[in-house]
Amino acid sequence: IPVHRKEDPITWEELPTLTGSCNIMTIEDRLLDKGDLFASMYRLGKSIAEVVLPEK
């Protein structure tokens, strides 16, 4: 499993690894299944930010 360093830019190839999904479509399907798309997008963005952004 590739480890994403915070100083490296995130790539679309790494995104599924960071979110625990096997592919991008799985992420989209999961978001749509939630019903509340905006809340799901917020949670996904927040989880990605926690991985990519440096600690405060």
Q: What is the pLDDT of residue 22?
A: 46
Interval 1-52: pLDDT, tens: 455 555 666 565 655 555 554 445 555 565 555 556 666 667 777 777 666 6
**What b/e string do you get for 24-41 counting C-beta neighbours within 10 Å, with b at 16 or more?**
eeebeeebeeeeeeeebe
* Gap between the Cα atoms of 39 and 36, Å rounded: 6
Contact 52, 4 (CB under 8 A): yes
What are the extents of the domains in the chain?
Answer: 1-56
Q: What is the pLDDT of residue 44?
A: 75
* Gap between the Cα atoms of 56 and 32, Å rounded: 32
Contact 31, 44 (CB under 8 A): yes
> pTM for the complete prediction?
0.25
